[in-house]
Amino acid sequence: MKRTLLLAGVAVLALAACNKNEKPEPRPVDFSQYKIRVEPVITRVTETNFENGDAIGVSVVKPSGDYAANVKLTYDGTAFASDLNWYEEGELASTLKAYYPYKEGEGLPTSFTVQHDQSKGTAASDFVSAVKEDVLPSANAVSMVFKHRLSRLVTTVKNNTGAAIESIVFEEFVPQAHIAADLTAKVVDGAKWQPLTPFFQDDKYYLIVPAQTVKPVVKVTAGGKTLSQELSEVSLEPGKQYSLSMVVNKEKIQVVLAGEIENWNDGGEITGGGPSFTENLEDGYFTYDGVKYDVVKMKDGKWWMAQNLAYLPEGCTPATELTAVTAGVFAPIRVNADQTAAEFTTDPEVVAKNGYLYQAEVALGLKVGDLTSVADAQKLEGAQGICPKGWHIPTIDDITGLVGKAVSPIETNTDAPYYDGANGSIVKLNADGFKMEAFGAISILDNTRTSGTFMGWVKSYSDKLSSGMMAGSTYAGVSYNTSGDETSGVKNLQFYGLMPMTNKATEAEYTCNGTKVSYRIATPVRCVRNE
């Protein structure tokens, strides 16, 4: 029987979500009919992208042992592919392990050596890997986060010799690493160092080495003369990039290790040409389009953004006029200095703290005016939208799984971790790092309105915004231009979102429940990580 293993491409598919309102079909007994597919979130292997002929190795480990051991997948310009299907037991979870570059063998590699001469490129020396546990056979792709397991040096050179630099060589680095069962790498203690030659591109020299503590020596040859400089001892860490600044004079060179950049952030990601994105879940944040956002794993078992999104889709400018009813994105709002009303603000500190306000179509990855039917709205449940790769706009299941309560006809989930017996509790959420408050919104009730209103400020709580709404992706309702007449055209569509409310006497009474949000209302966005 032919077996196929496909590594799906990474183009952003904002509409590729299943409609959770539909009844799930029973899981078939024999899952071997489904191809295993792996969708990567991965920092760049080369300076541009994967290239034809690149290969990774994948293993599938069941509780009883290996189901597939070090299967080779080769990139053909659009996908990594091999011949492998899921096993038959649909309810039996397994662990997937994957790494690059592929090394032939009966199992996963236990060692890796960087190339001594990296002058033609660093891709073959860049060991990256991913491990994902508790994976069930499925027709859907498995998303895996690949990480760099070695360290990279990036050297900038100022040449004052008057002659061309003929070569740069780094000494004292051990090139061998031990690869553990979880595909992390550790330098081989006591191994012999080797001279290593970096790769030159765009006026910088790049070198990849195993993480280690070392006193590097740099040798530069220019005009037939070789100069040498020893650096201070440095401890390199896995997945981090270190920048060096070098000045080469006729009689000496000066080298300064300027510092480190975590997770090779300047390398970007394979995201189909979209914004850069790197995850640092272990440190509680991700970086998206150059902006760092706090994230937190809540007691519902899911990773949530712990602050609002401040990402501007291409071509969008935040509106600061209530009459801009189809702007798509609005500036955040705050209470004015007199505490008499809400107002727009473009203060960078407020934008960083509160994020922008997005109309639903833009939040869900579309343009204002794209949604014209209930069927199209229903397809958007769980959409990535403007969230980074591997994250999505919250669904009603995400919302009730977190806070428990939502408007009718949604049933209350009394087992939700942040349900206090009456409402979703902001105090309970924030005790676990959610950092929720009422951020306000721009209320535009339907697509016939020519102006919006500020939502969130009331006189009785004049010093703060005390209500708001937040975007969701599950369809909640529709109204037509002529009531009940679908042929008259959509007047309004609603999605289930969140409603934080702080219009109470004490913080203990602050609530955050699920609500219906009209699609032209502009709200903050918080993304949830895909499971």
The Cα–Cα gap between 144 and 5 comes to: 15
In a shared domain, residues 226 and 199: yes
In a shared domain, residues 365 and 423: yes
The Cα–Cα gap between 69 and 130 comes to: 15
Note the pLDDT of residue 198. 97
Residue 339 placed within a domain: yes
Q: DSSP 3-state assignment of 324?
A: coil
The Cα–Cα gap between 37 and 434 comes to: 33
Only one residue has tokens 């309004």, namely 492
Q: What is the distance in angstroms between the CA of the first residue and the CA of the last residue of the chain? A: 31
Q: What is the CATH number of the domain that holds 61?
A: 2.60.40
How many other β-carbons are positioned within 10 Å of the β-carbon of residue 301? 9
The answer to whether the CB of 424 falls within 8 A of the CB of 444 is no
The answer to whether the CB of 446 falls within 8 A of the CB of 518 is yes
The Cα–Cα gap between 154 and 38 comes to: 31
The answer to whether the CB of 390 falls within 8 A of the CB of 13 is no
> Tokens at residue 256, please?
């300064």
Residue 143 placed within a domain: yes
Report in angstroms the alpha-carbon separations of 216 from 118, 253, 261, 334, 469: 17, 14, 19, 53, 55
In a shared domain, residues 261 and 292: no
Note the pLDDT of residue 3. 30
In a shared domain, residues 111 and 230: no
Residue 492 placed within a domain: yes
Residue 257 placed within a domain: yes
Q: DSSP assignment of 8-26, as one string?
A: ------TT----TTSPPPP
Of 122, 147, 172, the last residue of a domain is: 147
Q: Which of 482, 462, 454, 472 is nearest to 512 (CA)?
A: 472
Of 129, 147, 165, the last residue of a domain is: 147
Element (DSSP H or E) covering residue 473 = strand 470-482
Q: What is the CATH number of the domain that holds 233?
A: 2.60.40.2630
> Tokens at residue 335, please?
């209470």
In a shared domain, residues 228 and 320: no
Largest CA distance in the chain: 86
The answer to whether the CB of 178 falls within 8 A of the CB of 185 is yes
Of 215, 239, 266, the last residue of a domain is: 266
Residue 142 placed within a domain: yes
Q: Classify residue 282 by burial, with Cβ atoms within 10 Å: 0-12, 13-18, 19+.
A: exposed
Only one residue has tokens 């969701």, namely 472
Q: Among the residues of 44-192, which ranges form H helices?
A: none
The Cα–Cα gap between 328 and 330 comes to: 7
- Residues for the chain: how many in total? 531
| 20, 26, 27, 33 alpha-carbon torsion, rounded to 10° | -100
Please state the φ and ψ torsions of residue 61, each to the nearest 5 degrees. -115, 115
The Cα–Cα gap between 260 and 148 comes to: 15
Only one residue has tokens 């992390």, namely 184
In a shared domain, residues 358 and 438: yes
Note the pLDDT of residue 96. 92
The Cα–Cα gap between 286 and 150 comes to: 20
| 493, 495, 498, 502 alpha-carbon torsion, rounded to 10° | 10
In a shared domain, residues 34 and 133: yes
Domain count, the chain: 3
Burial 159-188 (b: 16+ CB within 10 A, else e): eebeeebeebbbbbbbbbbbbeeebbbebb
In a shared domain, residues 161 and 109: no
> Tokens at residue 157, please?
């050179």
Q: What is the pLDDT along the chain (531 residues), one digit of tens a residue?
A: 223 333 333 332 233 333 334 444 444 446 677 766 666 554 444 443 557 778 889 999 999 999 999 998 777 666 667 788 888 887 899 999 989 999 998 899 999 999 999 999 998 999 999 899 998 887 666 777 778 999 999 999 988 888 889 999 999 999 999 999 999 999 999 999 999 999 999 889 999 999 999 998 899 998 888 888 888 888 999 988 888 888 888 777 676 665 655 556 443 232 223 577 778 888 899 888 878 999 999 999 999 999 999 999 888 899 999 999 999 999 999 999 999 999 999 999 999 999 999 999 999 999 999 999 999 999 999 999 999 988 999 999 999 999 999 999 999 999 999 999 999 999 999 999 999 999 999 999 999 999 999 999 999 999 999 999 999 999 999 999 999 999 999 999 999 999 999 999 999 999 999 999 999 999 999 999 998
Q: DSSP 3-state assignment of 348?
A: helix
In a shared domain, residues 198 and 325: no
Domain that includes residue 260, residue range:
151-266
Residue 272 placed within a domain: no
In a shared domain, residues 290 and 407: yes
In a shared domain, residues 47 and 170: no
The answer to whether the CB of 429 falls within 8 A of the CB of 413 is no
In a shared domain, residues 374 and 509: yes
Global pTM value: 0.53
Report in angstroms the alpha-carbon separations of 306 from 196, 286, 296, 436, 437: 43, 11, 6, 8, 11
Note the pLDDT of residue 270. 26
Report in angstroms the alpha-carbon separations of 49 from 42, 273, 355, 358: 10, 10, 31, 32
Residue 71 placed within a domain: yes
Q: DSSP 3-state assignment of 112?
A: strand
Residue 271 placed within a domain: no
